[in-house]
Structure 1
Amino acid sequence: MVKILVTGGSGFIGSNLVEYLSSKNHQVINYDIKKPRNKSFIKNWVKGDILNQKDLAACFESFNPDYVIHLAARTDLDEKQSIVGYATNIEGVENVIDLINKYPTIKRTIYASSRMVCRIDYVPESFDDFCPPNLYGESKVIGEKIVKEKANHDFVIVRPTSIWGPYFEIPYRTFFDAVRKKIFFIPRNHNPKKSFGFVHNTTFQIEKILFAPKEKVDQNYYLADYPALELKLWATMIAVEFNQEQIKTIPMLPLKIASKMGDALQKVGWKNPPLTTFRLNNLITNMVYDTASLEKLCGELPYKLKESVAITTSWMKNNF
């Protein structure tokens, strides 16, 4: 049995990861400022903020982990004024690095970044090529650079793409809700391919990366299912699980108008309108990442798309 410390284990990916690793008989601690979403794992929770160096150090000292998976982050896109609002993604990363540098017994650390280190329509030439679309993305760029500059331990940086599944929130639960309520439409003449990831496949990939021999592991990975899915097929599968008809298409003009209205509503305080220009751009733009090295390391994924959709919609039916 190995000891694994997960920061941010009460978040979406973290909740699934703590559950998955515990099922493998690993000893898991979730260091998070928030309570676990799954009450069955309260026993694994240590309340703490990664910006609090004293509490974080106390957790490391008492648990003495063999591995660390750093997921804790501020992940919303609401900050518009200053990157200072994303201190968790910058100073928090520094705090984790400083501690792990003092623990030579820690075998490997995984640092979670984000696909938003580049905007959706930008294809980076390398993992050091950045083009963030917002302050959140900028904070993750800074976090990656800090890891590469200051970490003197075995580490891997992962960039979750668009991950979905049980315990998810905005924006992909909003997407599932829109399909469920029959208010989702595919933009006519658009059926982009997307490197999305079902969260149970994501946790499987993280475990593979964590325990793989050093010589077989790259320093960076995008986390996504392979191959990329087609948006229309995915939406149709979701609709079928909710006993709906086929997904309908709609011309771009009304969608553009609705997205502008959504932008205006955001400016007056509505945090989650059904459609914005940002989301519309996501709907019509291909987002495909090279996952060849990830596939080589992890092999076949445990969950196919149809089963993944069924698990997620069942969770939604039981919880909302």
Structure 2
Amino acid sequence: MKVFVTGSSGFIGKALAQRLSAENHEVLGLDKRPGPATNILCDILDAKRVQEAVQAATPDALVHLAARIDIDESADVSDYPANVEGVRNVIEAVRHTPSIKRTIWTSSQLVCRVDYRPSGDTDYNPDSSYGRSKVLTEQIVREQDGGGSQWCLVRPTTVWGPGMSAHYQRFLRMIQRGYYFHVGSAPLLKSFSYVGNISYQYRQLLQAPPEQVHRRTFYLADYEPLDLVAWGDAFQRALHARRIPRMPVFVARALAHTGDAAIALGLKQFPLTSRRLKNIMTQYQFDLSATEAVCGPLPNNFGEGIEQTVEWFKGLSPPKA
């Protein structure tokens, strides 16, 4: 199978390209940044170049991952054009490429705020401009019927593992240096995705029979929820760091209010804000039965994920002072 992957230099894109290539599929990657899985340097906002690239590749399937994914609390939806106009451009490219039979369009769990349980696939309740931009992603795909292909939408949750973002690298570095703390004393259960498992789920969705995936929406995560406390403690042990202390919730809230004030005064980064604290403290577990029914058992367990992530992390260059 020949698969075209947009966003091939991103976290999931690299993992997916590596998995597909290892299974002898032909992968053509498009991204605006160079990377080992990127054959075509192109911004998806360049409609003409995107269409030319996809048509020239004549792929059997397309996985759309390219997006702006950061959550900027001062941004507006218009600041996320890749998630709106970029999606329109890729859909038009699919529409003009008859070789494409299957497409997967990547949305986000944040089309709804983390404490909201939607009643259906089009029941949205985002609380960020990023989330609202991903609502538009989904609406465009549905309105355009996936460019005329067999299609599905996927909503990844938080993804972790080798290659994860600088934000999570800082999380591991804080644990390693003894600066990280747990908030409160209770477990915090969340539907997280290990990168080796989510890349496998994408692959399974590419190969599933059409009637199992067409016009459906799937959450992508490990089937068993991850306990944020146990996750941090597992990294602490694997990194041979000091035991992670616990901070009372009222202290964390005070620190978060300080962060809110700092952001309001123009500071771009602060370790904790009320929004981030809410995201940390809110437990969420998605019903993944539909995903499991199509994708089947996952290849990596929790312990393997910790081991592989720590091995990767130890090989990183130390941050610049």
Normalized against structure 2, the TM-score is what?
A: 0.93
Tell me which amino acid in the other structure corresponds to 1:29: L
Give the match for residue 124 of structure 1. 118
Q: 2:283 aligns with which of 280, 283, 286?
A: 286
The CA deviation string for residues 218-260 of structure 1, in whole angstroms up to 9 with x for no partner, is: 6111110011111111111111111024432221122112222
Structure 1 residue 21 corresponds to structure 2 residue 20: yes
Structure 1 gap ranges (5+)? none
Give the match for residue 3 of structure 1. 2
Give the match for residue 106 of structure 1. 100
Partner SS for 1:290 = coil
The count of corresponding residues between Structure 1 and Structure 2 is 314
Q: 2:137 aligns with which of 137, 143, 148?
A: 143
The CA deviation string for residues 11-65 of structure 1, in whole angstroms up to 9 with x for no partner, is: 11111111111111111111110111xx4x4xx4200011101111121122111
Partner SS for 2:315 = helix
Contact 2:51 2:92 in 1 (8 A): no
The CA deviation string for residues 95-145 of structure 1, in whole angstroms up to 9 with x for no partner, is: 111121222321100000001100111111111110001101000001101
Give the match for residue 202 of structure 2. 206
Q: 1:236 aligns with which of 216, 230, 233?
A: 233
- Give the RMSD, CA atoms, in angstroms: 1.6
Tell me which amino acid in the other structure corresponds to 1:160: P
CA distance in 2 between counterparts of 1:65 and 1:255 reads 50
CA distance in 1 between counterparts of 2:266 and 2:314 reads 29
Contact 1:190 1:284 in 2 (8 A): no
Contact 1:232 1:247 in 2 (8 A): no
Tell me which amino acid in the other structure corresponds to 1:247: I
Tell me which amino acid in the other structure corresponds to 1:251: P
Q: After superposition, where does 1:264-303 map in structure 2 within 5 Å?
A: 264-303=261-300
Q: After superposition, where does 1:249-264 map in structure 2 within 5 Å?
A: 249-264=246-261
Give the match for residue 162 of structure 2. 166
Structure 1 residue 45 corresponds to structure 2 residue 44: no
Give the match for residue 175 of structure 2. 179
CA distance in 2 between counterparts of 1:171 and 1:128 reads 30
Contact 1:191 1:284 in 2 (8 A): no
Contact 2:29 2:40 in 1 (8 A): yes
CA distance in 2 between counterparts of 1:305 and 1:178 reads 21
Give the match for residue 51 of structure 2. 57
CA distance in 1 between counterparts of 2:264 and 2:150 reads 43
Structure 1 residue 314 corresponds to structure 2 residue 311: yes
Identity of aligned residues (%): 37
Normalized against structure 1, the TM-score is what?
A: 0.93
CA distance in 1 between counterparts of 2:264 and 2:39 reads 37
Tell me which amino acid in the other structure corresponds to 1:163: V
The CA deviation string for residues 243-301 of structure 1, in whole angstroms up to 9 with x for no partner, is: 02443222112211222222333344544422222221122111111101111112211
Partner SS for 2:80 = helix
Tell me which amino acid in the other structure corresponds to 1:161: T
